[in-house]
Amino acid sequence: MNTDVITFAGVDFSSGRQPVTFAVLDDVLNVVLLEKYEVDHVIAHLKQYGKLSLAVNIPSTKSRQGIYSDFKKKIAQTGLKPYATKAAPKQWLETDAQDCFRTLIGKAPLSRRALEGRVQRGLILYDQGLRITDPMDFFEEITRHHMLGGVFPNELLYSTSELDALAAAYIAWLVVNEPGQIEITGNKLVIPKEPERD
């Protein structure tokens, strides 16, 4: 991999055989990679990058804490340093995707498990400049025929874990490209600053 180009990555933890959703953005917010892997596979990926900003979405449930702990133990193998060392070519930080979404729209988002919550989160990321499919395209594909047949264009929407990993990758991008647009909370999580509202 090109060691001169900085890469922006985010991870989210879930359950199953491949519990880590790994998102990678380039410098203009194109989605370069969005896959589910085992912890060791993500660690191997992270080792390949010369310059990297990584944001880790902290798990909100106890069942995912074990996976997160395993990931944190192995992260030192990748050459990543905690965000406090701002000059490091490879740095990592923690974030909370739900706080990021809440901050970016100025209120609590809809339920992340509901269809409308997934659409809303996709729109939030789309409006921030991530080069993803416009989530509103989902509604253009819903026809009477599709409704009667129970066929929904779910491939146009990201899963909750993918959205959280993309939000984390966006935070990793902000830290490098727009550091004035982030803040660090009392528990040392990095989130976007609330935009000024009219």
Is residue 84 included in any domain, yes or no? yes
Residue 44 has a pLDDT of 95
Per residue in 57-76, pLDDT (tens digit) is: 999 888 888 899 999 999 99
The whole-angstrom separation of Cα 34 and Cα 158 is 10
8-state DSSP, 116: H
Q: What number is the average pLDDT over the span 5-31?
A: 94
Identify whether the C-beta of residue 191 lies closer than 8 Å to the C-beta of residue 183.
yes
- Please, which pLDDT band fits residue 157 given cuts at 50, 70 and 90? confident
pLDDT top residue among 4 and 100: 100
Other Cβ atoms within 10 Å of 53 Cβ, number: 27
Q: Is residue 55 part of a domain?
A: yes
Confidence bin at 147 (pLDDT 50/70/90): low
**Neighbour count for residue 84 (Cβ, 10 Å):** 10
165, 10 contact by CB (below 8 A): yes
CATH of the domain at 112: 3.30.420
pLDDT of residue 90: 94
CA-to-CA separations, 197 to 126, 148, 153, 180, in angstroms, rounded: 19, 41, 34, 17
- CA dist 86 and 21 (Å) reads 25
DSSP state for residue 1 in the 8-state scheme: -
Question: Which pLDDT score is estimated for 173?
Answer: 96
pLDDT value, residue 108: 94
Name which of 5, 3, 42, 2 is nearest 20 in CA terms.
42
Q: How far is CA 120 from CA 60, 109, 141, in A?
A: 20, 7, 17
| CA separation for the pair 79, 7 (Å, rounded) | 14
Give the range of the structural domain holding residue 63, as residue numbers without chain letter: 1-187
Greatest distance between any 2 Cα atoms in the chain: 57
Tracing tokens 């739900």 back to the chain, one arrives at: 98
User: Mind listing the pLDDT tens digit for each residue in 163-183?
Assistant: 999 999 999 999 999 999 999
Whether residue 194 lies inside any domain: the answer is: no
Does residue 193 lie in a domain region? no
Taking phi over 0 as left and psi of -120 to 50 as alpha, with beta for the rest, 188 belongs to left
pLDDT at 2 exceeding the cut of 60: no
If one compares 124 and 198, the residue with the highest pLDDT of the two is 124
User: What pLDDT does 136 receive?
Assistant: 72
User: In the chain, how many domains are there?
Assistant: 1
How distant is the alpha carbon of residue 170 from its chain centre? 6
Q: Is residue 125 part of a domain?
A: yes
